Amino acid sequence: MSSEETPAVKIEKSRVEKFISILTKAIQKSHGTISTPEIIDQCYGEDAATFDDDENGNMLVGLLDDSLDKIDEEAMEHIQKIVKQYAQRPLQCLDDAIAHVDALEKKELQEEEDDRQSAQEAIVMSKLPQGVSAEDVLQYQAYLIQKKARDDLIESMKRIDEECEQLRAQLEQKKKQVQDSIENLDEKSKSMSNAADMCSYVVS
């Protein structure tokens, strides 16, 4: 890998890590809005006191907290894999598009300057056709440069769109897999809740 490519890789990693950090904070914030003691109290009422432990607090609250933590961890693992596997290429596509536009602008400015000088030299060395001014020549040269830059950009964006479309399809598939995993975790949580109900029934 050349030294010129190193900055692009660093930018890509920074964006991915920032994206994962935002998702992690969002999950933690959503978890923080859940009061497990209130949920247990609403579900079991006074029966919840049966599972009180002087050292560790209420056993049902502990079980529910552990289940939520496990769900958060597994969901975050899936999200990190998806982001690292599929989000890097779209971010790189964005970097490439920005770099390509910058290069086209610089190239256009240089070509405009070169063509302007060539046109001026040609005007000095030869007589212009009747009805054609020096300004007409410069405008036509500028038009050709702009047309080529536009065509190059359109072709580049088409290629990027095709790649991003493929990535969107892959992300949709992974999204479904994550949803299936979450539903599976919900089923496990319901099973734990049923087990807790049975324990409550046996104790009572």
Q: Which strand (E) or helix (H) includes residue 52?
A: strand 52-53
d(CA 163, CA 149): 21
pTM above 0.75, yes or no: no
For 76-125, write each residue's pLDDT tens digit. Answer: 888 777 877 777 777 667 767 777 888 888 888 888 787 777 766 665 55
Tokens 């299936």, located at residue? 180
d(C-alpha 184, C-alpha 192), whole Å: 13
Confidence of residue 8 (pLDDT cuts 50, 70, 90): very low
104 contacts: CB under 8 Å, gap ≥ 6: 149, 152, 153
Written as six digits, the tokens of 169 are 């399809």
